[in-house]
Homo-oligomer: A and B are copies of this chain.
Amino acid sequence: MTHWIRFRDTDGRIGFGTLDPHSGRVVQHDGAMFDRPRPTDVSFAAADLALLAPCEPSKIVALWNNYYALSQKLDKAPPKHPLFLIKPPMSVIGPLESIRHPKSYHGKIAYEGELGIVIGKRVSDASVEEAEAAIFGYTCVNDVTAIELLQEDPNFAQWCRSKGFDTFSCLGPHIVSADAFDWRGAHVVTTVEGVERQNYPLDDMIFSPAQQVSLLSHDMTLMPGDVIACGTSIGVGSIKDGARVDVSIEGIGTLSNVLDA
């Protein structure tokens, strides 16, 4: 099991490496996370580092209606192909960074706790087997939404706008390597100010991670570091300014972010 992190050290330098969750030690690596990373002889105490988003996606592909429980609650048929929008790179923040309430928007902000798939290899038109091999690992996602914008215009659902604001894609705290994470056995648990609001099993997914990567790779080339946000299930709600949202997935960890006013 490898936990990959990106970090800023006490000198302000950005690096990446592996975290031993038991000892709390981080071994810095050279090269690129997705292309033959090499351990260096530099190590840190994790407590001395500021964690950053664990990867720098060129795009986030965010799914809608990918859990049977939610599709039943919404009374929408399960889709035949992943339904998605694209979130831009500038929407990404890491653990403990603040979600910013957009200056131009005074409505409700919603959390959506999700599993994130991190792509490790450039992949196009992949079979399910090839797709499985292209998954580097998994992380937690809070897919934040300016929910009142979504249906503001009667002619056009504003998915990209309502979910694309800076700081609206919280990722982290680290990436757990694919070989070490059994998504079938895990739940996504979202709490707001410590109160549980979502707790749903990943095995209720309509498209499995490998199916998602395969099908989406027929729509566009997926690049190393790209993230697929697997969609959320029931229990979505709004966040008050100043409140903390924790997205926890057993086997990965807990992603915490506060909504700033």
Contact = CB atoms under 8 A, between A and B. Distances in A.
Interface residues of A, number: 40
Contacts of A161: 81, 83-84, 219
Contacts of A156: 64-65, 79, 83, 157
B166 A58 contact: no
Contact of A153 (B83, B85, B125, B165): B83
Q: Which of A83, A220, A223 has the most CB of B within 10 A?
A: A220
A83 B218 CA distance: 26
A104 interface: yes
Interface stretch (A88-96, A112-120, A175-183, A190-198): A88-96
A174 interface: no
Contact of A166 (B81, B153, B220): B220
A42 B219 CA distance: 40
Nearest to A218: B104
